[in-house]
Amino acid sequence: MSQYAGVANEDSINLSRSERKRVRTRSWKLLAALAGTQKPMLALTLVLVVVSNLARVAFPLLIAWAIDWGLPQVRNGNWAALGITGGAYVLAAITAGSLLGWYILCTARISQAMLLDLRLDVFRHTQRLSLEFHENYTSGRIISRQTSDLETLRELLDQGISELVSAGVFVVFTLISIFVLDWRSGLVVLVTALPIWLLFGWYQKRSELVFRESRVVSARVIGSFVETMTGIRAVKAFRKEKSNDAAYSQIAGEYRDNSIRSINLFGVLQPSLVLIGNLAVAAVLAWGGFRILDGELGVGVLVALLLATNRVFQPVENIAMFYQSLQSATAALEKVSGLLEEAPTVVEPAKPQPLEHAAGALEFTDAVFGYGDGPVIMEKFDLAIPAGQTIAVVGQTGAGKSTLAKLIARFYDLRSGTLSIDGVPIEQIANNDLRRHVVMVTQEAFLFSGTVAENIALGKPGATIEEIILAARAVGAHEFITALPEGYDTDVNKRGGRVSSGQRQLISFARAFLADPAVLILDEATSSLDIPSERAVQRGLQTLLGNRTALIIAHRLSTVQIADRVLVVHDGKIVEDGSPAELIGSEGRFAALHRAWRESLV
């Protein structure tokens, strides 16, 4: 496995030969794949370019024809010639204009289609990647991959294709005409290909590093920005503004220096190309001039040659600009394609076993778990939870309670052993089925932009407003929601400030209630609720939990009391297992915890 596979080491700038080749190829393949879907449109665009260039070539010919043929005709009193020449010119004008307009539209369609494809691909892929990936790859990077990195592709496509194609066509046509006029001068022009090629090679080598660095630095600028804005409360409360300003200005300065470096590289490339072109003209002039002295070359031919040589180099600048955008986009696509190369560690089964209805019986057999290659977190254990049982998991922070929950929600897979739902191994259940049957509510109750109703409906897309209200009532959230300015239609984004974290927890409870799963996991889901709200939730839970399996992680005794069975987790092991009454009666950890609780409930 390459050490640069996926997003590994994506911040390195200097790569070994083979690794560089790998990431570049990966990047170009992505670009080619995106362009591949646009073949018919690209072909049409190519035709348009050629035809519109031909129409432009027609203008000088028409003028020459008008003067050579039209003028004598008019002088002889043939006034129709005025209309014919003028009309032909206007026709050419309208044709050229329309073709150009059409062509601009076509390139926009192509570039937007490619951009949309990639945008959707990256989004979908990122969402599919496992939680393990998200916990290690910063959100700033994901955001920058999906914003500023894609922006470079857009720049390439927007100015790139049009410049490149029409410049290429122009250069080829002009070069041919030079060869036809005088092959020796053609050779002189061809010889300049060598320094140009060397120059591009030099630019490519230098700019590759700078552009690669640019993606890394811009991701840091974005990361720092997003972190500050999402954490603004703490920034203000702890007066972090000044040090943030300094840090941001430092990193934005690095980004600026990087841009200046890349632009300066181009600033050498572009004038050098101009210089080479102009020297080529001088060379053609020198060689042609002496041949005129020797009488080997006509003056008219030399004029034509010189003008053509002068023109052949004009679009080389456009090609250089395209090359610059290509370098920049390639560097960005190196990163994007790396992200796309990441495979989810929790894999959706190729041939899932259908699980239309689940009763919710869970069984761990010889289960062992650890993150990645890290140490074992949960030592080998067996655990059977019959369908419909309500389990409370208690233990100290870091004992492994949440791990148990994450395994059942299949955020992670076991290192060895099996976990099955109704006898079906969890790895063989289609993601859709699994998520329909198993729902987890966590302590961090995240609200998405949209209305309160839409946030609850996340539990069951397409739910009617009646169902939504029913769910909200069941968990005791209805009262506060109706008290909001626009009730269920209140935009949580605009009014984020007035939805407290307790209320957010109630909304996520309503979400879970609406989802109506066979297995419900509550990970500290009531921590921010006041006692009456918690009581309401628990009443709701008792109805909700009636015939479903529930795993409740809680620090509160009140929650444990509605459980049929209690598991005490300590240091990655299940150390006690029994009904609350049994455990209280024993002299174990739970009994001690229970005493502590009683004392806290004054």
Interacting residue with other proteins among 3, 357, 498, 542 (CB under 8 A): 498
**Is the CB of residue 115 less than 8 Å from the CB of residue 157?**
yes
Query: Does residue 302 touch other proteins according to CB under 8 A?
Result: yes
Window 500-529: residues binding other proteins (CB under 8 A): 500-503, 506, 508, 511, 515, 524, 527-529
User: Of 57, 66, 56, whose CA–CA distance to 88 is shortest?
Assistant: 66
State the DSSP H helix or E strand holding residue 565, giving kind and residue range, or none if neither: strand 565-570
Q: Considering only 42-50, 219-227, 360-368, 375-383, which stretch makes contact with other proteins by CB under 8 A?
A: 219-227
207 to 201, 244, 265, 353, 425: CA distances (angstroms): 10, 30, 7, 51, 51
Window 436-465: residues binding other proteins (CB under 8 A): 436, 439-446, 448-451, 454, 458-459, 461
Window 221-240: residues binding other proteins (CB under 8 A): 221-223, 225-240
Window 325-364: residues binding other proteins (CB under 8 A): none
**Is the CB of residue 349 less than 8 Å from the CB of residue 428?**
yes
- The least CB distance from residue 17 to other proteins, in Å, is 31
Main-chain dihedrals φ then ψ at residue 14, nearest 5 degrees: -90, 115
Lay out the site mask for other proteins across 15-54 (x = CB under 8 A, - = otherwise). Answer: ----------------------------------------
- The least CB distance from residue 547 to other proteins, in Å, is 21
Q: Exposure string (b/e) for 571-581, b if CB count within 10 Å is 16 or more? A: ebebebebebe
- The least CB distance from residue 20 to other proteins, in Å, is 26
Nearer to other proteins, 73 or 365 (CB): 73
Sole residue written with tokens 């079906």: 424
Query: Does residue 323 touch other proteins according to CB under 8 A?
Result: no
- The least CB distance from residue 498 to other proteins, in Å, is 6
Query: Does residue 583 touch other proteins according to CB under 8 A?
Result: no
Nearer to other proteins, 1 or 356 (CB): 356
| Residues that contact other proteins, how many (by CB under 8 A) | 185
Query: Does residue 379 touch other proteins according to CB under 8 A?
Result: no
CB atoms within 10 A of CB 40: 8
Q: Considering only 23-31, 326-334, 382-390, 434-442, which stretch makes contact with other proteins by CB under 8 A?
A: 434-442
**Is the CB of residue 485 less than 8 Å from the CB of residue 451?**
no
Window 140-159: residues binding other proteins (CB under 8 A): 140, 142-143, 146-148, 151
Q: Exposure string (b/e) for 262-298, b if CB count within 10 Å is 16 or more? A: beebbeebbebbeebbeebbebbbebbeebeeeeebe
Query: Does residue 271 touch other proteins according to CB under 8 A?
Result: yes
Query: Does residue 127 touch other proteins according to CB under 8 A?
Result: yes
Query: Does residue 571 touch other proteins according to CB under 8 A?
Result: no
- The least CB distance from residue 43 to other proteins, in Å, is 19
Main-chain dihedrals φ then ψ at residue 286, nearest 5 degrees: -60, -55
**Is the CB of residue 550 less than 8 Å from the CB of residue 535?**
no
Rounded Cα–Cα distance for residues 24 and 19 (Å): 8
Please, is 114 exposed, middle or buried when counting C-beta atoms within 10 Å of its C-beta (0-12, 13-18, 19+)? buried
- The least CB distance from residue 441 to other proteins, in Å, is 7
Window 57-96: residues binding other proteins (CB under 8 A): 59-60, 62-63, 66-67, 70-71, 74-75, 81-83, 85-90, 92-94, 96
Main-chain dihedrals φ then ψ at residue 514, nearest 5 degrees: -70, -35
